[in-house]
Amino acid sequence: MSSLSINNLSVQVEGKNILKSISLEVPAGETHVLMGPNGSGKSTLSNVLLGNSQYEVTSGTIKIGDTDITEMSVDERAGAGLFLAFQHPESIPGVSVTNFLRQAMAKRKNLDDFSVLEVRLAVMDWASKLGMDTQFIDRYLNEGFSGGEKKRNEVLQMALLEPEVTILDEIDSGLDIDAVAAVGEGLKIIREQNPSMALLCITHYQRILDYMKVDRVHILVDGVIVKSGGPELAEEIENEGFDTLKESAAS
């Protein structure tokens, strides 16, 4: 059981300060939500958590449990138990879903290799639980996938890798109501199977939160967490928007 701990994290991009001494802790087993207007720094935070080298950490630390991952590579972070579901999942021509998952599962479980059969059986088991068509596993990763298929594929990866900490980077972005429902139901199933996982959901909207038991909500404005509260804070933002919080952050 591991928590996600972000301590006094400041980040620059091309010399510009984007995140300013952010501190945030998501204990094991809890679901926290990060919301904010466009340009608030949400995408920067997800990139920094992933380990994108284009973002410069000028101060602070990121930990999974007692492990400091601030300077780790993307692969090392995955091995430590971090999983990030992308807002815009990349297509990888020539790499099948099966082979991608085979390598990812071996890295996560610190094994030299997984057999194709092991992966296929695991995928078929979870695809059945998530109500997904198993034929896609022989296709190239995300190539020709619809937006909903890409996001459901991210959910499947999350299920198979059994992460200690999961970051959902606007997983509901660009999805219609039915696709949000499919992704949301999948997340509910995974949470039941992995109750100790620490989950941080980054989103603009409240609708995906209908499928989660949210413990805390944090509002990011201009690179600073300006307010934290219970799940009712997400409903407040849904009804009233960010304008009041923008004004308080600027004053």
pLDDT in tens, the chain (251 residues): 789 999 999 999 988 999 999 999 999 999 999 999 888 999 999 999 999 989 999 999 999 999 999 999 988 898 889 999 877 767 677 777 777 888 777 777 766 666 778 888 888 888 888 777 777 777 777 776 777 778 888 888 888 888 999 999 988 887 888 888 888 998 999 999 899 999 999 998 788 899 999 999 999 999 999 999 999 998 888 888 887 776 555 55
Q: What are the structural domains, with CATH classification, of the chain?
A: 4-250 (3.40.50.300)
Predicted model pTM: 0.87
Q: Which residues of 141-160 are buried (b: 16+ CB within 10 A; e: fewer)?
A: bbeebeebbbbbbbbbbbbb
Amino acid at 86: F
d(CA 179, CA 205): 15
